[in-house]
Amino acid sequence: MTRLKDKIVCITGGANGIGKTLVEVFAKQGAVVEFMDMNGGKGEELSLQLNSEGYSTRFHEVNVGVYQQVKDVFSKIKEDHGMVDVLINNAGVSKFMSFWEMDPEDWDSILSSNLSSVFYCSREGAVLMKNRGGCIINMASTRASMSEPDTEAYSATKGGILSLTHSMAITLCDVGIRVNSISPGWIQTEDYDSLRYRDHEQHPSGRVGKPEDIARACLFLAHPDNDFITGENLVVDGGMTRKMIYKH
């Protein structure tokens, strides 16, 4: 298999989109995958499918924005495995709301789902990595550095994840834990064939991204041989944030 065989890998937001692909890819690399999501039906379905194919996964229906639920699920993982090798904080909501009309409750909800959850899961996961080594990967976004209207809450959470990542990397280095983030650009999670030519050609890479692109980046950062990388943000966006947008 690979260097990830039998490693305990925890993935949040694993029932849909990028997270679903992460669960599939890490399971097929031989990892024991514990994954979480609020969508119980899709999570259970994915776990049953992968387990029937001979892979090792377990699904937990959890709202990772609620600290007690996070504590409870990591207690189960500790009871069964005693450790975590890799944690991927992928859960989040892409919710864009009017700057003028957003309620404080909406703001707090998005920050809880996208940013507080990263801190909660990282702290509980780090307890199970402490002094034996481990890797935390946080899913940020290119929207941390570029924006469209009415993305204030979402962009703020992704910028917060970048800062939280390098802060945790320095705090946790003394106990052998690496912390990095990934900033995806346009990743089409479904109906890829429906994309237009201009959707693809605007990217310097020549195409829109796929969930598998993010999964490969996670595999790279999670690999034990890449232990010289910590506190970094890996941008996976087909070159879009490096492109001059002015028309001539």
Active site residues: 154
What tokens does 190 get?
Answer: 């479904």
Return d(Cα 74, Cα 243) in angstroms, integer: 42
Return d(Cα 89, Cα 22) in angstroms, integer: 11
Question: What is the DSSP-derived secondary structure letter of residue 241?
Answer: G
Neighbours of 149 (CB within 10 A): 8
205 CB contacts (<8 Å, ≥6 apart)?
A: 238, 239
**Nearest to 223, CA basis, from 133, 120, 140:** 133
